[in-house]
Every structure is written in structure tokens, then in C-alpha cells.
């Protein structure tokens, strides 16, 4: 057999060609490895981010958009459900807790989300790492990655993240707590009582007399808002403590509330002093049927069976109940198709590289005929010549595959880091046993392909090589 040092010496002497082959194999392998690692990281990261969301209920519409907005905090307007849906869910004995999710504001590029303490602490199972939970409409709990300290003030800006809007001056939040790191977009969210979101957008206790209903339904949005504001000023003193235990409700009829929900409050109306903030008797449950609308409700069912029953019951009549895991599975199928295309492209590239390696090796052998003939003349058996050529190709492929795995891992880490900085989802880039099997498969294919030039060298007569 040819000693390995002879193989390495031969490759060192022909280092330029060897380097080109290694780089070709490395880049082709890196493409496939990057696609595989990144698709896996996206799948694992998104699944972990959705772990705490058993069931999401929203208004009828796109299930995918509901999950992307409510679970991954992707900025997109969602239709509102009547407050009666929240009240019904919260009172259902099959529900451990139900937390509304309200959007519409941001602060320095971070979403301000209205919810309840049950969601913040996951029903008491998740402890805060700093401070305490919010206990008033003007308090906030921030995610682990929010660069705010305890006692800092948050003045939200109207509009979703990335949208321009005016800064709300009616209500400012004081940071009183910080959640544990979750590796999800919620690490960069600012959580406030849902009542704060309702109040800052002019929803809540709008006290109307029965005779005013037709007037409000027939007026335009601006006149409606001013009439409500004037009436609130006149009735505020009499109703501040009215109906304790029914937060966010008064004498308004459900149809009237629906009209309020379907339109935005006049921009800047509260900031300019046209009306006081709506009054809430307390924050959090119990809820009443005439509460303001919400775009999504996170439901923690008492059991798995209850979760399936609830999902079935809320898939109709203007609502849709979804399991985020099921929606993600459909997205994974779509990603799987894209991954298949990219994988086929990578495999095609590797096949072209393999063919190029064989071609280069065959051409190289024709240029080394005298060298091979000299080895045969010095007594080297055919098997040694075969082993020399075969080992050289296998070493080049092995180094190229190792380089490709390293480059692919580095590229996947860079892509994951960029995606994490934009989405907040931690994407774990990690190898699995099947990746090792893929590397062995590449080497096995290379070993078979290397037999072609090795066999050509094996059949080359010594005398003919020396004469050539």
C-alpha cells in the first residue's frame, strides 16, 4: 500500500489544483448544510415560541395571520371580537384562564400589548425576574430584552411597530416588573393592562341615555366622539364608583359598542383635551358582556379534551379558535417544499462538482502518465497506484466536506442571528445525528466516484506511460 505521507506529499506538490477542488466541494456542501440547519432552526424556534399558547381565539379571518400577530407579535391589524366572547370564555368552567391580547401602540420600536396578569405569569407558573406584576392601569411589565429599568416611564406611540403615529399623552405607564427570558418576541414586548389600551383609544365607560342611542348611531365619527366626550364630562362625577366589579361597561348597548370598535377614535382627541380617559372600576376579570372588543384571546384550557371542545365551539359565529401548533405545521409544510427545492439545487450543485472533480482528475492523470510509469518501473504494483489515486481524491473530498460543514454552520448562525434580531425568536442552530449520516453519505458517494480515475490509473501500462 502507498503510505499516507506519499499521498499528502503528492497533494502538497499539486496544492493549487487541490485547493480549487476542496473549495468547490466545500461551497457546494455548505449550501446544503445551511439550508438544512436554517430550516431546522426556524422550525424549532417557532415551535418553542408557541409552546405556551394552547388555544387562540380571534375574529373570523386568516388563522395564519391570527397566530403570527397574537403569538409572534407580527404587526398586522386584526378584526375585533365583541367583549361578550371574552366574558363567556372567562366564565367557562373548562377554561383555566383566558387573557385578552390588545395591540395598537408601540414604544421605541417595541410593541405595547394589553393583557392581564394571568398571561404575564402564565397563570401563576412563571415568576418575574424583577419587580412585581402590574396592579394599576398605569403600570407595565416589560420583557427580558426591553432596555428599560424599574420606574422608567413609557409614553406609547399610536400605531403598530414600524408605523408612524402620534405619541399618546393621556396615559403614561410606569415599569414595575420584568419577565423571565423566553427566547420569543415577547422578550421585547411591553405588557400593560388591557384596560390601559382600551382607555388610551377611547374605549370603555361611555355613559349614554337611552334616548341618545339613535343620535349616536346616525352621527359621523367625529361628532360621535365629541358627543361622548361632553357627556362623559357631565356624568363622570356621578358614575366613577358605579357598578363595581363590571370593568369597562356602563349603559351602552352592545350594538353601540360594536360601532365604537369598528372605527378608530379621532386622532389626538384625548390629547387635545376633548375628553377624559374612560373609567374602569378595576383591572382584569371578572369581565362583563359589554366590555370593549379585543383582537385575540389566549385560552388556557383545563384539559386537552377541553381545549379541543373549545376550539370546535369557537370555529363559527364570527370567531375562529386555532391551535398555534397546527397552523405552524401547515407553515412547516410550505417551508418543507421550499427546503426541498433548495436541497435539490444543492444536490445538483454537488453532482456538478463531483463530475468536475472526476474530469479534473482524469485530465490530471493524463498529465501524470510518466510519473505513474516511473512508479511502476520502480516496482510499485498496480494496487498501489490504484490506492494512491483513490486516496488522493478521497482526502480532497473529505477535507472539502469538513470545510462545507464548517462554512454551512457559520452561515446558518449568521442568518439565525439576523432573523433573531428582527423577529425576537431565538433560532437554535445545532447539528443532529442525521447530519453525520449525510456527511458519511457524501464520503461514500465520493469513494465510489473515485474508483473511476483510480481504475484508469490501475489499467495504465508502465511501458506505454514511459513512452508517452
Query: Rounded CA gap, 266 and 263, in Å?
Result: 9
Residue 243 has pLDDT above 50, yes or no: no
Query: Rounded CA gap, 374 and 92, in Å?
Result: 90
Q: Do the domain assignments include residue 266?
A: yes
Q: Do both 188 and 268 map to the same domain?
A: yes
Q: Considering its fold, how many domains does the chain have in total?
A: 2
The model's pTM: 0.71
Q: Do both 302 and 433 map to the same domain?
A: no
Q: Do both 44 and 59 map to the same domain?
A: no
Query: Of the residues 290, 322, 354, which one is the last residue of a structural domain?
Result: 322
Which of these ranges, 73-87, 201-215, 308-322, has the smallest mean pLDDT? 201-215
Q: Do the domain assignments include residue 442?
A: yes
Q: Do both 350 and 203 map to the same domain?
A: no
pLDDT at site 255: 39
Q: Do both 102 and 247 map to the same domain?
A: yes
Q: Do both 199 and 251 map to the same domain?
A: yes
Q: Do both 229 and 268 map to the same domain?
A: yes
Mean pLDDT (the chain, rounded)? 78
The per-residue pLDDT for range 108-167, each reduced to its tens digit, is: 889 999 999 999 999 888 899 999 999 998 899 999 999 999 999 998 887 665 555 667
The per-residue pLDDT for range 182-233, each reduced to its tens digit, is: 999 999 999 999 998 888 877 765 433 333 443 333 333 343 434 343 444 3
Query: Of the residues 289, 322, 355, which one is the last residue of a structural domain?
Result: 322
Query: Rounded CA gap, 86 and 291, in Å?
Result: 8
3-state DSSP assignment of residue 48 = helix
Q: Do both 336 and 305 map to the same domain?
A: no
Q: Do both 29 and 140 map to the same domain?
A: no
Q: Do the domain assignments include residue 231?
A: yes
End-to-end CA distance of the chain: 26
DSSP assignment, residue 167? B
Output 373 or 411, whichever has higher pLDDT. 411
DSSP assignment, residue 211? G
Q: Do the domain assignments include residue 327?
A: no
Query: Rounded CA gap, 12 and 359, in Å?
Result: 20
Query: Of the residues 267, 298, 322, which one is the last residue of a structural domain?
Result: 322
Q: Do the domain assignments include residue 193?
A: yes
Q: Do both 440 and 379 map to the same domain?
A: yes
Residues of the domain holding 356: 4-48+332-467
Q: Do the domain assignments include residue 59?
A: yes
Q: Do the domain assignments include residue 352?
A: yes
Would strands 190-193 and 319-322 be described as parallel, antiparallel, or unpaired? unpaired
Element (H, E) at 401: helix 382-423
The per-residue pLDDT for range 64-76, each reduced to its tens digit, is: 999 999 999 988 8
pLDDT at site 249: 32
Q: Do both 119 and 232 map to the same domain?
A: yes
Query: Rounded CA gap, 42 and 210, in Å?
Result: 54
Query: Rounded CA gap, 420 and 168, in Å?
Result: 29
Q: Do both 239 and 365 map to the same domain?
A: no
Amino acid at each position: 500500500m502507498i503510505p499516507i505521507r506519499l499521498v499528502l506529499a503528492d497533494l502538497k506538490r499539486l496544492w493549487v489544483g487541490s485547493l480549487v477542488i476542496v473549495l468547490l466541494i466545500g461551497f457546494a456542501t455548505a449550501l446544503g448544510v445551511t439550508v438544512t440547519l436554517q430550516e431546522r432552526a426556524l422550525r424549532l424556534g417557532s415551535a418553542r415560541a408557541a409552546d405556551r399558547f394552547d388555544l387562540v381565539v380571534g375574529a373570523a379571518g386568516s388563522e395564519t395571520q391570527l397566530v403570527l400577530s397574537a403569538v409572534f407579535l407580527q404587526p398586522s391589524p386584526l378584526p375585533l371580537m365583541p367583549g361578550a366572547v371574552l366574558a363567556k370564555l372567562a366564565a367557562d368552567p373548562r377554561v383555566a384562564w383566558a387573557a385578552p391580547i390588545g395591540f395598537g401602540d408601540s414604544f421605541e420600536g417595541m410593541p405595547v400589548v394589553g393583557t392581564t396578569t394571568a398571561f404575564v405569569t402564565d397563570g401563576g407558573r412563571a415568576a418575574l425576574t424583577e419587580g412585581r406584576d402590574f396592579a394599576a392601569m398605569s403600570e407595565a411589565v416589560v420583557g427580558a430584552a426591553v432596555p428599560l429599568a424599574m420606574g422608567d416611564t413609557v409614553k406609547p406611540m399610536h400605531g403598530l411597530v414600524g408605523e408612524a403615529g402620534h405619541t399618546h399623552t393621556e396615559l403614561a405607564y410606569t415599569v414595575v416588573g420584568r419577565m423571565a427570558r423566553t427566547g420569543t418576541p415577547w422578550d421585547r414586548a411591553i405588557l400593560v393592562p388591557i384596560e390601559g389600551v382600551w382607555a388610551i383609544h377611547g374605549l370603555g365607560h361611555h355613559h349614554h341615555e337611552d334616548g341618545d342611542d339613535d343620535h349616536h348611531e346616525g352621527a359621523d365619527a367625529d361628532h360621535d366622539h365629541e358627543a361622548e366626550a361632553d357627556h362623559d364630562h357631565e356624568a363622570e362625577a356621578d358614575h366613577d364608583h358605579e357598578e363595581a366589579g363590571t370593568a369597562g361597561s356602563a349603559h351602552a348597548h352592545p350594538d353601540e359598542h360594536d360601532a365604537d370598535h369598528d372605527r378608530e377614535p379621532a386622532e389626538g382627541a384625548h390629547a387635545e383635551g376633548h375628553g377624559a380617559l374612560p373609567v374602569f372600576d378595576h383591572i382584569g376579570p371578572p369581565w362583563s358582556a359589554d366590555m370593549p372588543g379585543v383582537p385575540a384571546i389566549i385560552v388556557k384550557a383545563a384539559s386537552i379534551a377541553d381545549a379541543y371542545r373549545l376550539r370546535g365551539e369557537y370555529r363559527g359565529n364570527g370567531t375562529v379558535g386555532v391551535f398555534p401548533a397546527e397552523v405552524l405545521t401547515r407553515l412547516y409544510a410550505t417551508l418543507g417544499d421550499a427546503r426541498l427545492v433548495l436541497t435539490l439545487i444543492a444536490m445538483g450543485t454537488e453532482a456538478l462538482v463531483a463530475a468536475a472533480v472526476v474530469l479534473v482528475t482524469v485530465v490530471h492523470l493524463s498529465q501524470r502518465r510518466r510519473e505513474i510509469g516511473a512508479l511502476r518501473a520502480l516496482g510499485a504494483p498496480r494496487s498501489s497506484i490504484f490506492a494512491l489515486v483513490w486516496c488522493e481524491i478521497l482526502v480532497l473530498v473529505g477535507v472539502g466536506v469538513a470545510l462545507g460543514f464548517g462554512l454551512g454552520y457559520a452561515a446558518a448562525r449568521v442568518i439565525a442571528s439576523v432573523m433573531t434580531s428582527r423577529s425576537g425568536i431565538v433560532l437554535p442552530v445545532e447539528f443532529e445525528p442525521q447530519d453525520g449520516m449525510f456527511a458519511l453519505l457524501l464520503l461514500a458517494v465520493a469513494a465510489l466516484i473515485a474508483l473511476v480515475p483510480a481504475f484508469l490509473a490501475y489499467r495504465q501500462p508502465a511501458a506505454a506511460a514511459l513512452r508517452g
